[in-house]
Structure 1
Amino acid sequence: MRSIKHFSLALSALALAVVAPATSAQTYTLNVSTSQVADDPMYKGLLEFKKNVEARSKGRVQVKTFPASQLGSDEDIIEQIKAGAGVALVTDGARMEPYTKEFGILTAPYVVKNFAEMRKVVASPVFEEWVTKLHDKGGFQVFSFNWYQGERHLVTNKPVTKPADLAGVRMRTPGAPLWLETVRALGATPTPMPWAESYSALQLKAIDAVEAQVPAIYGSRLYEVTKYITKTRHIQLVTGLVGSAKWFDKLPKDLQVIVREESLKAGDYASKLTTDLLVTYEKDLKAKGMQVVDVDITPFVASTRSVYDKFGYVDLRKQVDAIVAK
């Protein structure tokens, strides 16, 4: 009997030794992609996210970061996310619009005047309803949507003062329908392609122009292949860190909280870097020979109003206006 008792105790101890480490050592890996280069505030924000998530989770969530579309184009990453992979992407609302319509309003032209207004929108209870809808309907999990990249401007090789000046200009834009229609409304011919291909496409004259924010213009060295930045401010580019709902739902609740809280903090960190550096970037671009031109945006505002009618965003615009006004 004593031998049986000892054997039973030994077996129980062995079982605990096998089970306990597996439970305590359960880890989750998240690969995070951005199209921006390693010096961009967005990537620096991802490094902050990685550091803080790994520290708070005590290594239970391991984050690997990839700048400059090293994991593939944004469209490729979105497909991986939809499939449930442990991948996340710094992306814009227009790319989420096909899965949840409301997200498109975040990148609609002239929907807000500045990041402070947009920050109110993406921190509102209304926005959290959109997040839930995107999770349930589209299979995406928004970690946070407060990653501000700056105002989008026109980047060309000729002066532009009004939409008519863009007639016949082939302008690179992301492939989402809202982006395409916005560029068309601005007066140009939209040409969808990955951001990483913009420099070579300009160099080879496959396109004539891009529309982009100042940090991306500088980081991608577009001052070598373009001459003018026309400050149309047509989009206040706020982006989000978005992953797979399937991957996120497998996390224990405490890790879900850590991922979302640290994404919000890192997004604010990256956004502050952006706003702090905008003046410096602009000075550096001028020093590189680019002409940075302020223009009357009135005709561009007028020309892009059609986007709201085409996408059925008139009521959504009123909803955003109400949030901003609070």
Structure 2
Amino acid sequence: MTGRKIIASLMCVLVTGLLLTGCSTKNATDQAPKTTTFRLAENQPPDYPTTVASKKFAELVNERTKGRIKIEVYPSGQLGDEKSVIEQVQMGAIAFTRVHSSPLAEFSKPFSVFSLPYVFENENHMWKFLEGDMGTKMLDTLASSKMQGLAYYDNGARSLYFKKPVKSLEEIKGLKIRVQQNRVTMEMVNAFGASPTPMPYGEVFSSLQTGVIDSAENNFPSYYTSNHYQAAKYCLLNKHQRAPEVLLMSKFVWDKMSEEDKKILKQSALEAGKYQRQLWTAFEKDSEAKLRAAGVTITDVTDFKPWQAAVKPVIDKYGAEFKAEMEAIEKARK
């Protein structure tokens, strides 16, 4: 073989090798999973149980889709307040969020049932309902408002706290109690014989300090983290409402998911919800211990019958609007 033929042969081998290498690189690139990144809005701090659980949800989804779906959690209201975030989720600008169930009643009437006082005997009763057929169906009723419910998170029970010692239902008559802008909650406070005073959450602390209101109501963690206990050191555990949180996503984004990914999202959300309940229980106990250590007087209600009797007209009035839900709640009691 002449020198020219040897060089030509070597060039052919080199070109063939380069072509094969190029094809191999292209195939590897084509086979690599594409990552789609979504945002999840959370208005609580990074260490709050709902935020930690939402991060767990993101981890499970990322793991089970082998990196195809990445969910970034934005805590502390970075993406806006609850109302504006819900609007962005409906438009598809934000894919996921965690919100309290109360504002969802504006979009799906059955969610109003959670505002009714004393419909749940205890935590176990509530979760039996939420994890049953009716609770699951309620998550899907948000679809008409361009949202898809995924799972419930725990939010404990709401109780009253005051500027002065209060130990019974009779002692709250005539007092001004801050409430959310919610017709059922306002009528509940009226039924207690007190004066409902709706106002933004951010104004409660100063209003307690200045005497604009005598009382407010919330769960232990919120009572502690808001510093409301510094202005209202007397808590009465009347546990008048149990309303869950909801992890949801944009229906616009949901409809673009494959059936496989929808199953992954639902299952991951349910597991994150169970994880959040464990975190919440520990967080609630820790908050109670800190409140007691700070000098807060916590009084247990041992007989709920007078409280239940006082609000029966409210339940009779609004319960008729939620016949199917109330029947399911009653069934879950057994």
Pick the TM interval, shorter chain.
0.7 to 0.9
User: 1:215-247 CA distances to partner (integer Å, 9 max, x unpaired)?
Assistant: 221222222222111101111232211222112
CA apart distance, 1:180? 3.6
Equivalent residues in 2 for 1:57-68, closer than 5 Å: 57-68=65-76
Q: Residue 305 of structure 1 aligns with which residue?
A: 312
Q: Matches of 2:75 and 2:35 in 1, distance apart?
A: 27
Q: Matches of 1:78 and 1:164 in 2, distance apart?
A: 39
Q: Residue 72 of structure 1 aligns with which residue?
A: 80
Equivalent residues in 2 for 1:254-293, closer than 5 Å: 254-293=260-299
Distance 1:303 1:75, change over 3 A: farther
- Determine which of 120, 125, 133 is the counterpart of 2:128: 120
- Determine which of 24, 34, 39 is the counterpart of 2:47: 39
Distance 1:241 1:195, change over 3 A: farther
Deviates more, 1:255-264 or 1:58-67: 58-67
State the superposition RMSD in angstroms.
3.0
Distance 1:149 1:129, change over 3 A: closer
Q: Matches of 2:148 and 2:75 in 1, distance apart?
A: 21
Letter in 2 for 1:51: E
Q: Residue 4 of structure 1 aligns with which residue?
A: none
2:154 matches 1:129: no
CA apart distance, 1:89? 3.2
Contact 2:35 2:70 survives alignment (8 Å): no
Contact 2:176 2:195 survives alignment (8 Å): yes
Contact 1:39 1:219 survives alignment (8 Å): no
Q: Residue 109 of structure 1 aligns with which residue?
A: 117
Q: Matches of 1:244 and 1:189 in 2, distance apart?
A: 38
CA apart distance, 1:112? 1.1
2:249 matches 1:243: yes
CA apart distance, 1:164? 5.9
Q: Residue 16 of structure 2 aligns with which residue?
A: none
Q: Please give the secondary structure, in 2, of the residue aligned with 1:90.
A: strand
User: 1:160-183 CA distances to partner (integer Å, 9 max, x unpaired)?
Assistant: 32166142414142x344344334
Contact 2:92 2:253 survives alignment (8 Å): yes
CA apart distance, 1:144? 0.4
Q: Residue 3 of structure 1 aligns with which residue?
A: none
Gapped regions of structure 2 (runs ≥ 5): 1-18
Deviates more, 1:261-270 or 1:249-258: 249-258
Give the structure-2-normalised TM-score.
0.81
Give the structure-1-normalised TM-score.
0.82
CA apart distance, 1:273? 1.9
Letter in 2 for 1:142: G
Structure of higher CA gyration radius? 2
Q: Residue 147 of structure 2 aligns with which residue?
A: 140
CA apart distance, 1:261? 1.3
Q: Please give the secondary structure, in 2, of the residue aligned with 1:89.
A: strand
Q: Residue 155 of structure 2 aligns with which residue?
A: 149
Q: Matches of 1:18 and 1:189 in 2, distance apart?
A: 68
Q: Residue 178 of structure 2 aligns with which residue?
A: 171
User: 1:74-111 CA distances to partner (integer Å, 9 max, x unpaired)?
Assistant: 22222222223324333333322222222222342111
Distance 1:280 1:26, change over 3 A: closer
Q: Residue 85 of structure 1 aligns with which residue?
A: 93
Distance 1:294 1:247, change over 3 A: same
- Determine which of 56, 70, 73 is the counterpart of 2:64: 56
Distance 1:122 1:19, change over 3 A: same
Q: Matches of 2:227 and 2:233 in 1, distance apart?
A: 12
CA apart distance, 1:17? 7.0
Q: Matches of 2:189 and 2:73 in 1, distance apart?
A: 31
CA apart distance, 1:39? 3.4
Contact 2:85 2:94 survives alignment (8 Å): no
Gapped regions of structure 1 (runs ≥ 5): 1-8
User: 1:136-194 CA distances to partner (integer Å, 9 max, x unpaired)?
Assistant: x222211102x112111102212332166142414142x34434433443444434445
CA apart distance, 1:318? 2.6
Q: How many residues align?
A: 310
Q: Matches of 2:221 and 2:70 in 1, distance apart?
A: 28
Distance 1:50 1:236, change over 3 A: same
2:333 matches 1:317: no
Q: Matches of 2:264 and 2:30 in 1, distance apart?
A: 23
